[in-house]
Homo-oligomer: A and B are copies of this chain.
Amino acid sequence: MLGRTTEYAIRAMVYIYIRNQEGGRPSFKEIAKNIDSPEQFTGKVLQNLARSNLVSSVKGKGGGFFFSGPSKSLTLYEIIKAVEGDEYFSKCGFGLKQCDSSSPCPMHDDYSEIRKSFFQLTNKQTIQSLAEKVNQHKAVLNRLQLT
């Protein structure tokens, strides 16, 4: 469904948010350790997210990643769009270059429904809502314990 890069992106953002709440500003090394992702690659992913202004960063000693401004909620949709690209939510499930209700692929109707549900999920769930589940011990970020 989602590429690994996107999975790292979401997990990393949730981790950053949680550490921010605790007053921390984690480095990508700390993040990678805690979400069980490759260190340098996670750095790259975060670099891109920062470029897209989905997260902030400061260089130098004591620096790291954090959410700035009035913590408006950040939907998964925005992250997925930034990482996977815009077409992700409109691609035909059958692989046709052109597919819409006027000239549908044979799966079009059923598939549209599911895509819509997924779209809604990604617009409903936010980094904040996921983080809350983790905080309330209703979900885990990975198999390892959070430090």
Q: Tell me, in angstroms, the Cα distance from A117 to B121 when the chains sit together.
A: 13
Q: Is the CB of A1 within 8 A of B117?
A: no
Residue numbers in B under 8 Å from A125 (CB-CB): 106-107, 110
Q: Tell me, in angstroms, the Cα distance from A37 to B127 when the chains sit together.
A: 39
Could you say how many copies of this chain the assembly holds? 2
Q: Decide if A113 is an interface residue (CB 8 Å cutoff).
A: yes
Most buried by B among A1, A2, A98, A141: A1
Interface 1/0 per residue, A103-131 and B, CB below 8 Å? 11111101101100110010011000111
Residue numbers in B under 8 Å from A104 (CB-CB): 138-140
Q: Is the CB of A134 within 8 A of B106?
A: yes
Q: Is the CB of A94 within 8 A of B7?
A: yes
**Known contacts A93-B2, A94-B7, A94-B11; is A114 also within 8 Å of B118 by CB?**
yes
